[in-house]
Amino acid sequence: MRKGETYFGWIAAITYVLACGVAIYGPSETKALLCDKSSNCLATWVGALSGWVAAVGALCAALWTIGPLREQVREARRQSDFLVGDAEPEIVLIRNREEKTVKLRITNWNRHTVMIDSVSCVSPSSYQVSNVLDAEDERLESRLSRTGQRYAYRVDGWFDRSKAPERRSLVVVFSRDGQIDTTAATNRVGVSVAVSYRVVGQHHERRQVVVSALDLSPG
């Protein structure tokens, strides 16, 4: 039984006991008010109101449970998306102050390929994202340094469920006042970035997520 239903039960029980006590041991005037078989007695009023009380109680119970029901629906939807391969990719921003780096780690739980189109700084407002580089292969330099165009990084879809999902790490280079700045990777300043990406399929879906930096190493 839920907490709200327990409260309603106790209130009803206490009211019933008090009414019975007054009817049995109370003065005659009070007994007449409770049950003199006229249309003005309390028993008649209570009987007339019982339907409304039941309706209000049902409404309160429904409002009490609507929140948990919504959460159950959302959880069922997440599980269904995971089973059919429509789950959202996991995008985490990791700061390593010892290495003086900030990296995006993308794990693609979706069966479709994901393309990381752009990364922009949300906070602090004084920082900008000047470059995004592949963390695993330094030879894959971003097109930004060669052509001025940002490169869309690919993360393949998760087709073979017997294997781990595809994962890719990208180094995020910050600048401030037009100069490369590593303080976003070394200071305790809170850093958040907006990641725009596409889920590649018959109809490309453009999505965006904002992530905040997690500190990998203490200090």
The 10s digit of each residue's pLDDT in 7-52 is 555 666 666 566 665 555 555 555 555 555 555 555 555 555 566 6
- Give residues with Cβ within 8 angstroms of 71, minimum separation 6: none
For residue 149, the model assigns a pLDDT of 54
Domain boundary among 56, 84, 112: 84
118 and 211 together in one domain: yes
194 plus 111 within the same structural domain? yes
Does the pTM of the predicted model rise above 0.75? no
If you average pLDDT over residues 141-151, what whole number do you get?
53
Number of compact structural domains in the chain = 2
Going by their DSSP bridges, the two strands 205-215 and 90-96 should be labelled as: parallel
Distance CA 187, CA 73 (A): 41
Q: What is the CATH number of the domain that holds 125?
A: 2.60.40
Last residue of a domain, one of 84, 106, 127: 84
* Mean pLDDT for the stretch of residues 174-187: 87
Does 150 have pLDDT greater than 90?
A: no
Do 106 and 207 lie in a common domain?
Answer: yes
Residue 74: band (very low, low, confident or very high) from pLDDT cuts 50, 70, 90: low
Give the residue ranges of DSSP H helices in the chain: 3-25, 28-35, 42-84, 144-147, 183-186
Residues 74 and 141 in one domain: no
Q: Do 53 and 108 have their domain in common?
A: no
**How many residues in the chain?**
219
CA distance 174 to 33: 80
DSSP string, 123-140: ESTT-EEEEEEESS-TTS
Determine the structural domain holding residue 72 and report its residue range: 3-84
Does the pLDDT of residue 137 top 80, yes or no?
A: no
